[in-house]
Structure 1
Amino acid sequence: MSVNLPSHAQVVIVGGGVIGCSIAYHLTKLGWKDVVLLERKTLTCGTTWHAAGLVPQLRATYNMSMLAKYSTGLYESLEAETGQATGFKRNGSLTVATSMERMEELKHGASMARYCDFEVQVIEPEQAKEHWPLLNIDDLTGAVYLPGDGQTNPIDTTQALAKGAKMGGATIIEHCKVTDVFKENGKVTGVATEHGNISADYVVNCAGMWAREFGKLAGVNVPLHAAEHFYVVTEPMSDLGRNMPILRDPDGFNYYKEDAGKMLVGTFEPNAKPWGMDGIPDNFSFDELPEDYEHLEPYLEAAMHRIPSMGDVGLQVFFNGPESFTPDDRYHLGEAPELKNFFVAAGFNSVGIQSAGGAGKMLASWIVNGHAPTDLWDVDIRRNGKFQGNKNYLFDRTKEGLGLLYANHFPFRQYETARNVRKSILHDRLAAHGACFGEAAGWERANWFAPEGVTPEYEYSFGRQNWFEYNAAEHKAVRETVGLFDQTSFSKYLLQGPDACKVLNQICANNIDKPVDKITYTQWLNERGGIEADLTVTRIAEDQFLIVSGVETQTRDMDWLKKNIPADARAYASDVTSAYAVITLMGPNSRALISELTDADMSHAAFPFGSSREIDLAYAKVRASRLTYVGELGWELYVPTEFAPAVFDKIMEHGPTHGLKLCGYHTLNSLRMEKGYRHWGHDITDYDTPVEAGLTFAVSFKKPDGFIGKEALLKQQAEGVKKRLVQFLFEDPEPLCYHEEPIWRDGELVGRTTAGMFGHTLGATLAMGYVENEDGVTADWINAGSYEIEVAQKRYKVTANLGTFYDPENKKIRC
């Protein structure tokens, strides 16, 4: 087939599914006409064509829900704009629960839906049957109904987006496989195809199941793996209404929709079948995978239990088609950290249709304007580590990932597959002391410690879980004696060179040009004043700085650092995460304990807060940094990895006389919540500024030469803010909250929580969250209000505080 390729395009999009067509459509809406979409076969031929076409709006977070809401509105209007029918209809959705725990989850979601301004109804089983007369409600505990949800025809919707893109000036070329990616000086320059080459300013990887392999051509990590996804279609059912809502029965792992008078039943089973381990065939197009009745049998039985009349009809279609899944069931969006101007939109975990409109709009804006148009950390491709592109890791995680879409999303739920990927050198010692490990960015981290005779395993619920009292004991130890945390998973970077100080002082909002062995708490800001990173910087030599940040931002932070080092600067960044274990000792007895193990003077006068120096501890040379994330006296001990076990053993040997207790990350969280310390990715993101987040104490406005984002902050200070991060204390000691709960002020909805945890010292749950007011948010406005936080449809009175509820004068940390 002869294909007429342009020699150049401003943007080349690789992949003609609903995602690629949406990005092309939205780029033209922003005025970019020189857009070329290349599809190896024909539009929709990979995964889009066999999607179920569900378009729900409510997702796990507010930001993702807003993207889905946009998709719904877009699909509703596309036919009028393009003349191409989409098959979209707002027939609503109904999700049923068969347990109180599942109903609790649905109520949490319903509360967030209200904040998203979605019409939502929490209803009884009998009311659910009114919406779905075929429903067996004998074992239901309740349901949630969202009238604004809908469904669409995936092929027609994609064709409508493609037509809209072409109407806007884009070119779509089918039967043109991309075979290579060109790059120069760290920037993408074009692609090679089987019909010739195209130079390009931007390339977008929308290759679906092929995105991981296509990413490899560019040197870009795109962790995803295909899995078999099943659905069946019944013979015609005379009693099946044509406008019935989408039905979800997550406890049965099934969803149901009317399809031309027949019933389509799809499954998200917990024992999924990864597919394409050795690569996806080049000729794969509109193909189906082999049937597997034995695998699907339990879920078909569950379907006939939920819809008994299904037992009276036969199955007309048994479909098995592959879809791609990511390690955390969140799709990949954004500019690849490995290659400038190479963007990714892939790995949509069976929510590609509902996500395509919003994701396409966001990525198009990102390309045109050079930054994400809203907080997209949930799906930012920079959250991934290199190891997550390992196909063995992906194969094992995919077995679990598909089924997790319909699992009960309990707080603190941990992945069970692809574990023990990254271990602290202290892991086995912690395990011997009863550690129950969680996983973050592949790291096995002790979340809590079980006492002798107790199995260190989670028992999940939305209430007080089985580790609650153990967390209380750890929390008390840190407040009253001393606790030990293994924080080896910190991301650690070294910036060195003659220009290191000058470069880093431009990137940091605070002044890091301090004497050697001084620590600076700071943020990295973008030009809009948004917080790109929250970290500490320690000057360890005149031309060397140790930068420490969170576990999940390792790739992201290094990307930001490297992008902001001028090409001619004599400054070089290295990731030294694996070089050091970090043993943290916190609590009023920490000084006495460390002093037994070193001849260094650990007194406040000799070793004040914010200081860092190398000391002899046991047989090792250790960098001790006097910091805190818990609001107590303490030190972070940076120990060369090979020395850490001996240092740990020596601390444990001397610890009992000081009341030492091993502590986990749940305790770190409960302690920091009492103190009101922020957590990047939850409480602060690139769309929150230090002014809004109450962090201007970590900004040095008067330092020479300024810093990135200074002008935006000064403007915001002058004009005032419309949102502000506030800490809340529940008056009732019983409820627990986690995040995304609505915040009410004087009976009006004004915000949502970013984090929540029970504070054992204060004896109640604490939360943080942003309150908003179009006319401005001041301290007087905040203090004048009466507040409630809504948890699972019930409102609880809370006390608001712009400061901190625990040790507001910081006496504990400066003693």
Structure 2
Amino acid sequence: MKTQVKALVVGGGAVGTSIAYHLAKAGWDDVMLLERDELTSGSTWHAAGLLPLFNMSFATTHIHKYSVDFYKALEAETGLNAGFAVVGNLRMAQTDERMDEYMLYASTAETCDVPYEFMTPEQIKAKWPLIRTEDLKGAIYHETDGYINPADVTQAMAKGARQRGVMIERKWQADAFHWNGTHWEVTATKMVEQGGNLVPSDEQIVITAEHVVTASGNHAQRTAKMLGIKMPAIPVEHQFIVMDQDPALVDYRAQGNPEHPVIRDADAQSYVREERGGWILGVYEKNAPAVFEHGVPDSFRADLFPLDLERIEEQYMAMIHRIPSCEESGLKDDFNGPICYTPDGNPLVGPAPGMRNMWLAEGFSFGITAAGGTGYYLAQMMVDGEAEIDMASLDPKRYGDWMTTEFAARKNEECYDHVYIVHHPDEERPACRPLRTAPVFDRQKALGAQFGFVNGWERPNYYGPLDAPDNFDHDGRSFRRGAWWNHAVEEAKAIREGVGLIDATAFTKHVVKGPGATAFLDWFTCNKLPSVGRINLTYALTSHGTTRTEYTIVRIAQDEYYLVSAGAWTAYDSDYLRKAIEDKAPEFGYIECHDVTTQWGVFAIAGPKSRDVLNALVKDGDPSTVLSNKRFPWLTMRNIELGMCPVRAIRVAYTGELGWELHHPIEMQNYLWDQILAAGEPHGLKLVGARAQNWLRQEKSYRAFGNELGRDATPMEADLPRFIDLNKEFYGKDALVKTGVRSKCVTVLIDGPSDADPWGREALYHGDIRVGRLTSGGYSVAFNKQIGMGYVPADIAVPGTKLQIKMQDQLWDCEITEDSPYDPKNAVIRVDG
């Protein structure tokens, strides 16, 4: 057994085996996989093996599609049949709202080249007469989908990996990880059978590896403890039952009919597929408990939990309703096993926080579906530095150190029972909330704030009516215009016409200072650094020249900088920044980096009357001049006093209006809030939430990280050359220049349906050709029509180009407009007072 390798993969389920295979395929010829038991002995062995392409995430849809295509090719390469039954996947809808969900999903599928078709109840009944359809609205059908044997596909990948030189070692458990400064030293213990249990022996070895990948499945909490990190991957019980033969199904197949597709009755929280003349019923019910919150017992191997039929009785009766012929079929077998989840349902794939060359592939609730694609894209990240798609939405650092075991367990239970709920794009899930709240939270709530969840923070999405009737649904979600829409319109108008106040406390904030700070940030970001007292918008790039992080940099002193970035990405940004500083400090000199996110609150005040409101509070000079263009020009920072509160005021507004960001000591937040509201009352100040702000920033073509900005596009492709200084050297510059402009970010104004707006995932057409997709969408109060931002080929990214957008399974006219269609010359931002 080798003790020195290029890459060590820990975990021999479908995910770990795929990663080992793809690392070897990508060219690494010294890869080892360790499995503490036998391959597939974790949750892989009891997985139902379904391969659902349906997913609202752009990245996850790409991963699932790759898996489906890859599994079909495995037998030709390895000679092993992966057990892939390409029977299709029929996802049914009992309500119009569910059909709306499918139409929105279809936009994501289309932009990822996933084939689909819509079916009417009549078409379903004609093709599969055993299915009851009179209460259905329709379905979406994936012909290329189906199910696979999890053990067979894992063994096929394992054979393919061995053929490419991967060493697979079974009955070896990773017991310790140590970074020696250049490599990982992994202590592995030989596991032996003892009375039916698997126990550690006295035999140990240390394996030295340049890279380590953990794909430990249900053992993720044990892995996290060994690494000294937090990881919200905790299993939840999942039940499915195998039924005896259904005579009607046997007769149907005997007549030469093909196998039924996987039948998903989403509104009944269940899936059904054929199994040897009978049916398998799997459910995603409420009250399924999280298990192994603090680790898997040593005695638990390929084991199961007792079946809890009472918990799934409702779904069982719904199956009998949907396929009446199965009513007399008895129960043949049952499975209740642990399947790992994360709070948002997406796996944790990417670099581990705070560590070098430690990669995580954990928390796979749909592990068989995701295994192939995860191996492919993670291998790209490890070998090439980045994947061809933006993997940020799966990054393990999307959850910071505020996350606890209790939070993860309860949110994972919620995620499980939400698998088949209608997933509105304006969805807000209630479990474990409120958790992270700014001091002003209670005041906002009392004023009608309806909150969203961002990186654990409660952030107002909009403010509902205080005099709402008892039956007013503040949580009224929709694929069209929800109950919140009219309130967001009024909030957006208030900023365009008067003055509005936005809570932006969740912004990520870092201080970078020291003798090496200036040289470091000049290398780390692509724009010129601002002079003292000024600000710049800039980008930290990846090794491929794409956008890793967007920063507003405020220069506080000659060698001290205040960096502001997206609130959803605090740990993600902090980890990248700290690692870069660690790498470059020997070259540039001493540098300090402090995450001060929770020390500073932020209010954004914006609108034509915003200066009037602040003038009433200024206490450190003549109010008529302190905020003037001469004393306080656009894109500058000043320390001012508003009443008794010292404020780091920044003359910038994400809404594109005259405005300031008011960064203040968090402990003074309630005082400052009260002062602003009192000063704003004579001017009609209105409280504004994130949804209106999102619309307003699109009217200014302001790109958002995670939408227009990400690791699959360069700032040049985002059409931001004004924020790139090619006269200096910066990280990623050569790759940025070499990449050129493959596609370009544009803003479109849309003549769409009267009751809906785009959500930022819709396909764009030029004639009969699909040319791109939206990355943001919403409504424009300035133009009284829908608006969106997205990417199209550079040769058509010209104002005036006529396009069409796919919404609600129809094409609607839209037109590329000039960048910043609202106030393109920034006149209102610069207005003097």
When normalised by structure 2's length, the TM-score is: 0.93
Q: 1:440 aligns with which of 443, 449, 454?
A: 454
Contact kept? 2:185, 2:209, Cα under 8 Å: yes
* Structure 1 position 36, deviation (Å): 1.4
CA distance in 2, matches of 1:636, 1:609: 12
* Structure 1 position 282, deviation (Å): 1.6
CA distance in 2, matches of 1:437, 1:115: 31
Classify the secondary structure of the residue corresponding to 2:725.
coil
Give the 5 Å matches for 1:71-220.
Answer: 71-185=67-181, 188-194=184-190, 195-220=204-229
Q: CA deviation digits over 1:630-661, x for unaligned, max 9? A: 01000111111111111111111111111111
CA distance in 2, matches of 1:731, 1:391: 47
CA distance in 2, matches of 1:579, 1:186: 35
CA distance in 2, matches of 1:551, 1:625: 17
* Structure 1 position 374, deviation (Å): 2.4
CA distance in 1, matches of 2:641, 2:107: 54
Classify the secondary structure of the residue corresponding to 2:552.
strand
Q: CA deviation digits over 1:289-329, x for unaligned, max 9? A: 01111111111111111111121111111221110100111
Asked whether 1:451 is paired with 2:465, we answer yes
Asked whether 1:49 is paired with 2:34, we answer no
Equivalent residue, structure 2, for 1:758? 779
Identity among equivalent pairs (%): 36
Aligned alpha-carbon RMSD (Å): 1.6
CA distance in 2, matches of 1:449, 1:191: 55
Equivalent residue, structure 2, for 1:588? 608
CA distance in 1, matches of 2:84, 2:668: 62
Distance 1:6 1:33, change over 3 A: same
CA distance in 2, matches of 1:31, 1:586: 53
Asked whether 1:357 is paired with 2:377, we answer no
CA distance in 2, matches of 1:525, 1:556: 14
Asked whether 1:348 is paired with 2:364, we answer yes
Asked whether 1:505 is paired with 2:522, we answer yes
Q: CA deviation digits over 1:733-782, x for unaligned, max 9? A: 6231102211001221101110101112221110111113xxxx236x63
CA distance in 1, matches of 2:414, 2:149: 28
Contact kept? 1:131, 1:245, Cα under 8 Å: no
Equivalent residue, structure 2, for 1:415? 429
Classify the secondary structure of the residue corresponding to 1:355.
helix
* Structure 1 position 186, deviation (Å): 8.6
Equivalent residue, structure 2, for 1:405? 419
Give the 5 Å matches for 1:509-588.
Answer: 509-512=526-529, 514-565=530-581, 566-568=584-586, 569-588=589-608
Choose 9-18 or 274-283, whichever is displaced more.
274-283
Equivalent residue, structure 2, for 1:475? 492
What letter matches 2:696 in structure 1?
Answer: L
Equivalent residue, structure 2, for 1:379? 394
Equivalent residue, structure 1, for 2:737? 714
Instruction: Tell me the number of residue pairs that the alignment of Structure 1 and Structure 2 aligns.
Output: 798
CA distance in 2, matches of 1:186, 1:588: 56
Asked whether 1:622 is paired with 2:647, we answer yes
Asked whether 1:699 is paired with 2:724, we answer yes
CA distance in 2, matches of 1:362, 1:221: 23
CA distance in 1, matches of 2:555, 2:585: 23
Q: CA deviation digits over 1:412-468, x for unaligned, max 9? A: 100111111211111111111111111011000111111221267211111111111
Classify the secondary structure of the residue corresponding to 1:522.
strand
CA distance in 1, matches of 2:672, 2:784: 35
Choose 60-69 or 27-36, whichever is displaced more.
60-69
Q: CA deviation digits over 1:529-563, x for unaligned, max 9? A: 20111120001111110000011111111122122
Q: CA deviation digits over 1:652-693, x for unaligned, max 9? A: 111111111111111111111111111111111012111111
Contact kept? 1:180, 1:193, Cα under 8 Å: no
Equivalent residue, structure 2, for 1:425? 439
CA distance in 2, matches of 1:763, 1:571: 49
CA distance in 1, matches of 2:94, 2:451: 30
CA distance in 2, matches of 1:100, 1:329: 25
Classify the secondary structure of the residue corresponding to 1:144.
strand
Q: CA deviation digits over 1:601-655, x for unaligned, max 9? A: 1111110001101111111211000011001000111111111111111111111
What letter matches 1:356 in structure 2?
Answer: A
Equivalent residue, structure 2, for 1:491? 508
Equivalent residue, structure 1, for 2:193? none
Contact kept? 2:801, 2:815, Cα under 8 Å: no
Contact kept? 1:124, 1:143, Cα under 8 Å: yes
Contact kept? 1:26, 1:361, Cα under 8 Å: yes
Equivalent residue, structure 1, for 2:763? 742
Asked whether 1:639 is paired with 2:656, we answer no
Q: 1:672 aligns with which of 694, 697, 714?
A: 697
Contact kept? 1:190, 1:201, Cα under 8 Å: no
Classify the secondary structure of the residue corresponding to 1:725.
strand
Contact kept? 2:183, 2:211, Cα under 8 Å: no
Equivalent residue, structure 1, for 2:195? none
Choose 133-142 or 189-198, whichever is displaced more.
189-198
CA distance in 1, matches of 2:126, 2:51: 22
Classify the secondary structure of the residue corresponding to 1:91.
coil
* Structure 1 position 274, deviation (Å): 1.3
* Structure 1 position 112, deviation (Å): 3.3
CA distance in 1, matches of 2:475, 2:147: 37
Q: CA deviation digits over 1:777-813, x for unaligned, max 9? A: 236x634742110012111101112412211111111
Contact kept? 2:386, 2:543, Cα under 8 Å: no
CA distance in 2, matches of 1:387, 1:257: 41
What letter matches 2:774 in structure 1?
Answer: T
Q: 2:790 aligns with which of 764, 769, 773?
A: 769
Contact kept? 1:205, 1:215, Cα under 8 Å: no
Q: Tell me, which stretches of 5 or more residues in structure 1 are unaligned?
A: none
Give the 5 Å matches for 1:285-324.
Answer: 285-324=301-340
CA distance in 1, matches of 2:395, 2:371: 15
CA distance in 2, matches of 1:453, 1:188: 61
CA distance in 2, matches of 1:425, 1:91: 54
* Structure 1 position 475, deviation (Å): 0.9
Q: CA deviation digits over 1:196-227, x for unaligned, max 9? A: 22111111110001113212211233211110
Q: CA deviation digits over 1:326-358, x for unaligned, max 9? A: 011100111112211111111111x11111111
Q: 1:16 aligns with which of 3, 7, 12?
A: 12
Q: Tell me, which stretches of 5 or more residues in structure 2 are unaligned?
A: 191-203
What letter matches 2:509 in structure 1?
Answer: K
Choose 126-135 or 516-525, whichever is displaced more.
126-135
Classify the secondary structure of the residue corresponding to 1:649.
helix
Classify the secondary structure of the residue corresponding to 2:172.
coil
* Structure 1 position 380, deviation (Å): 1.6
CA distance in 2, matches of 1:358, 1:480: 49
CA distance in 2, matches of 1:113, 1:579: 42
Classify the secondary structure of the residue corresponding to 1:44.
coil
Asked whether 1:225 is paired with 2:225, we answer no
Asked whether 1:335 is paired with 2:351, we answer yes
Choose 187-196 or 734-743, whichever is displaced more.
187-196
Classify the secondary structure of the residue corresponding to 2:598.
helix
When normalised by structure 1's length, the TM-score is: 0.95
* Structure 1 position 73, deviation (Å): 1.8
